[in-house]
Amino acid sequence: MLYGSAHGVDASRHTTVSQNSPGIPGAGGAGDLFGGEVFLSDLNGDKKADLTVGAVYEDGGNGALTILPSDGTRLTTTGSRFLSPPAVGISTAGAPQLGSIMAG
């Protein structure tokens, strides 16, 4: 991830995140396509942009979402969440690929 401001992107402020990064919930797996879809939005109403990361091929194509909240300055793993299809009420029949398309 690259951070920026009203003045543009600051390449010196960057973070690399994977499913195996410390504090990221869930288990990393080769081919999960973690980060294939990403979406910034205020998920909890605190006026800070939280990051939702899709992993479309997690668990054999069932997919998953990882949510990284913002502390107002940068994204953090504190309070991060891992959501599988059953956790959000979606059946895994037919490999739903949760996280394959995100829009707001």
Digit-coded pLDDT (tens) for 69-80: 999 888 899 999
104 located within any domain: no
94 located within any domain: no
Distance separating alpha carbons of residues 17 and 24, to the nearest angstrom: 8
10 located within any domain: yes
100 located within any domain: no
Beta strands in the chain (DSSP E): 2-5, 8-14, 34-41, 50-55, 65-68, 81-83
The number of domains in the chain is 1
102 located within any domain: no
49 located within any domain: yes
80 located within any domain: yes
- Structural domain including 51 reads 2-88
Reported as a pLDDT band with limits 50, 70 and 90, residue 98 is: very high
Tell whether the model's pLDDT for residue 104 goes beyond 80: no
Cβ proximity of 52 and 46 under 8 Å: no
71 located within any domain: yes
What is the model's pLDDT at position 1? 82
For 67-94, what is the mean pLDDT? Answer: 93
For 31-35, what is the mean pLDDT? Answer: 93
Distance separating alpha carbons of residues 90 and 36, to the nearest angstrom: 20
**Strand 8-14 with 2-5, pairing:** antiparallel
